[in-house]
Structure 1
Amino acid sequence: MTSHSHPAPKYYVLKERIRALAAKGEPGTLISTERALAAEYGTSRTTVRQAIAELVAEGVLDRTQGHGTFVAHNRPTYVRQLTSFTEDAAAQHLRTSSELLGISTVPAEGEAAHRLQQSAGAPLTRVERIRLINEEPLAHETALLPGELPQLADALAHSGSLYAALQESYGIRITDAEDTVETQLAGPEDVRLLGLEMGFPLLLIHRLGLAGDTPAEWTRSVFRGDRFRFQARRHRD
């Protein structure tokens, strides 16, 4: 049986050439303009733009509006396990911080009510934050927690970790977590909150946190696709 090989798409060939150029350059080195690269490699600017966009998404290149495209600096990659963001980052010697966008009480509805086993309209505490690694935005996180949690902002400011605040101030200890991971592309809100470009690849993670057998957390987190790896470990008897 004869096998037929198909040539790689033009943009992919160009992408690998630019990747090789970037590997030879120092971080921060400015690469040629789209127009110059299109002329040099005899291709369209659309092809160049696609190749560069994928290399930016992979963290090989950085692009700044009005300043051009550069060889990316080596940035730390956050690895998520089945503990809190703060605990995961500390284990990797990464400096974390959070920007609190708001804490409010909202009525339970839809999937959140189902996941948290709350009746429709029951009060949930909503915590919205931007999570940062080394002062760079990594994720937009919205947590929904059953009931009302008075003084949560103070507890969060004191502990720095939502899980620690829940345990220390409210006696709620998250013992198990179930993460569901999907992909999506950055929309206007992601562009505004995470400083990305439209269409940038993101990882959407929904987490159900359990305190024993009781659902205690339903969190939606959107992570930059170029700075995130997910790691899960299971023990089999």
Structure 2
Amino acid sequence: MTVPAFAAPKYYAAPKYYQVKEDLRRLALVAGPGAPLPTERSLAARYATSRTTVRQAISELVAEGILNRTQGKGTFVAPPHPAYIRQLTSFTEDAEAQHLKSASNILGTEPVLADEQLAARLRVPLETKLTRIERVRFINGEPLAHEAAYLPGLLPDLQQHLTEKGSLYAVLSTRYGIEITEAEDSVMTTIAGPLEARLLAIEMGAPLLLIQRRGLNASGVPVEWTRSVFRGDRFQFFARTRH
């Protein structure tokens, strides 16, 4: 069975508007850019909820850039808009460079099967075995980011090595012979849902920076895909390019 890439724990109950929002997000992904959204009235009937609840869900998706509202015409799926920035440093290395103390709370490692999105991002066949590692990252004792990394294959004792060393890139290099020589980052804004709010000690709806990274080896083969959300009130993204 394919495990959903970003499924929240089943024990964590999300508010009704958030459930509607995430379902609309999935519908927008399937429908594609420019597709019209049904009216608030029809959506309220579909989800057996109020138009106020539907309106809140839509408003947050508009704020995230997933949907566009056009006065007098309706609401539509927005076109893609990420900016791509290439750099090759880890969270741990970035913290050390700024003389900050970094730490991680490893929420777990587990084997998963690649769904369609992960298969495309890692360029592997559907249902390929992957290793998933989920962590909350801290700077000076304060939660800053929540991330989930996906690595092709099964990596035994990964959690133990990460606990000892801290840096995923260092562990991949020294323990598994996996060298990441190039990274592609897509950067966009989003807002905190119930899971991020709990893990990062912030309010739902707080601004977040979403960074999706694909790490490549020297042959250009993807060996890592990571989804990270950073607190907007504590994080500034900086990139340097050289000729």
1:166 alignment partner AA: L
* SS of residue in 2 equivalent to 1:234: coil
1:121-173 CA-partner distances (Å, limit 9, x unpaired)? 11000000000001100000000000000011121122111000000100001
Correspondence 1:111 to 2:106: no
CA-to-aligned-CA distance 1:15-54 (integer Å, 9 cap, x gap): xxxxxxxxxxxxxxxxxxxxxxxxxxxxxxxxxxxxxxxx
| Identical positions, percent | 59
Q: Once structures 1 and 2 are overlaid, which stretch shifts more, 208-217 or 139-148? A: 208-217
Structure 2 match to 1:161:
167
Aligned residue identity for 1:104: E
Alignment of 1:225-236 (within 5 A): 225-236=232-243
How does 1:199-214 map onto structure 2 within 5 Å? 199-212=205-218, 213-214=220-221
Match of 1:99 in 2: 105
Cα offsets for 1:74-119 (capped at 9, x unmatched): xxxxxx9630000011000000000000100000112211111110
1:80-95 equivalent positions in 2, closer than 5 A: 82-95=88-101
Match of residue 149 from structure 2: 143
State the structure with more CA Rg: 1
CA distance in 1, matches of 2:88, 2:206: 25
Structure 2, gaps ≥5 residues long? 1-85
**Whole-Å Cα distance in 2 between the matches of residues 81 and 225 of structure 1?**
20
SS in 1 for 2:236: strand
1:197 maps to amino acid: E
Q: Could you tell me how far apart the structure 1 residues matched to 2:129 and 2:231 are? A: 31
Other structure's SS at 1:229 match: coil
Contact 2:215 2:222 in 1 (8 A): yes
Contact 2:212 2:226 in 1 (8 A): yes
Q: Give the 5 Å matches for 1:44-193.
A: 82-193=88-199
Relative to the length of structure 2, the TM-score reads: 0.63
1:194 aligns with 2:195: no
- 2:136–2:147 Cα contact (<8 Å) kept: yes
For structure 1, list consecutive stretches of 5 or more residues without a partner in the other structure.
1-79
CA contact (8 A) 1:128 1:143 kept: yes
Shift of 1:179: 0.5
Once residues 164 and 173 of structure 1 are traced to their aligned partners in structure 2, the CA distance between those partners, rounded to angstroms, is 9
User: Once superposed, which parts of structure 1, at least 4 consecutive aligned residues long, lie more than 3 Å away?
Assistant: none
| SS class of match (1:230) | coil
- What is the aligned partner in structure 2 of residue 216 from structure 1? 223
Cα distance, 1:200 vs structure 2 = 0.5
User: d(CA) in 2 for partners of 1:81 and 1:215?
Assistant: 15
SS for the counterpart of 2:239 is coil
